[in-house]
C-alpha cells in the first residue's frame, strides 16, 4: 500500500470527525458507505447509512454537540485506528472520555466504524463535566482538529 493511499484513508477519517465536531452532519453522513456498520462496543450495532446517520444528525441538533481531540492515529491498509478524547455536549454540560476507534475505509467511504470506551472513564467524565459547570478551570480546553 502506498503512503499516499494510507494518508487518504486517514484524511477520510479525520475529515469525518472534523465534520461531526463542526456540526456538519450531512457532510459527516456522506462519508459513510451505504452499508456502513457502526458499533459502540457494548451497545447495539447500527447497519446502514440511514440508521448510523441518525446518531450523527442527533448530535448536530441545537443544545447537543460533539467534540473530538485525536491523540494518535495509525493505519494498516484500509484500517485506520484512532485514540481520541470525545466530548458529548448537552446544553452547558460537556462530558469528555477516552475512545479507541477502528474505521475500515472502502472506496473512500467509511464501511466500518467501531468505538471502544471505558464506562468508568465516562462516569469520571460526567463528574468532571458537572464540576466544570461551577468551576470552568476544572476542564481544560480541547485541541480542535486541524482541517
> Catalytic residue positions?
86, 115
The residue among 47, 45, 48 whose CA lies nearest residue 34 is 48
84: which residues sit within 8 A by CB, 6+ positions away? Answer: 17, 68, 69, 70, 71, 98, 99, 100, 101
User: Is 81 within 8 Å of 100 (Cβ atoms)?
Assistant: yes
Question: Beta partners for 47?
Answer: 37
Amino acid at each position: 500500500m502506498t503512503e499516499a493511499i494510507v494518508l487518504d484513508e486517514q484524511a477520510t477519517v479525520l475529515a469525518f470527525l472534523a465534520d461531526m465536531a463542526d456540526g456538519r452532519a450531512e457532510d459527516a453522513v456522506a462519508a459513510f458507505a451505504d452499508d456502513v456498520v457502526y458499533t459502540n462496543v457494548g451497545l447495539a450495532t447500527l447497519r446502514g447509512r440511514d440508521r448510523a446517520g441518525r446518531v450523527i444528525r442527533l448530535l448536530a441538533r441545537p443544545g447537543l454537540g460533539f467534540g473530538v481531540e485525536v491523540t494518535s492515529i495509525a493505519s494498516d491498509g484500509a484500517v485506520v485506528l484512532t485514540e481520541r478524547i470525545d466530548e458529548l455536549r448537552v446544553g452547558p454540560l460537556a462530558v469528555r472520555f477516552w475512545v479507541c476507534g477502528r474505521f475500515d475505509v472502502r472506496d473512500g467511504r467509511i464501511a466500518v466504524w467501531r468505538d471502544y470506551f471505558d464506562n468508568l472513564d465516562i462516569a469520571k467524565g460526567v463528574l468532571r463535566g458537572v464540576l466544570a459547570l461551577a468551576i470552568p478551570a476544572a476542564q481544560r480546553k480541547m485541541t480542535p482538529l486541524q482541517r
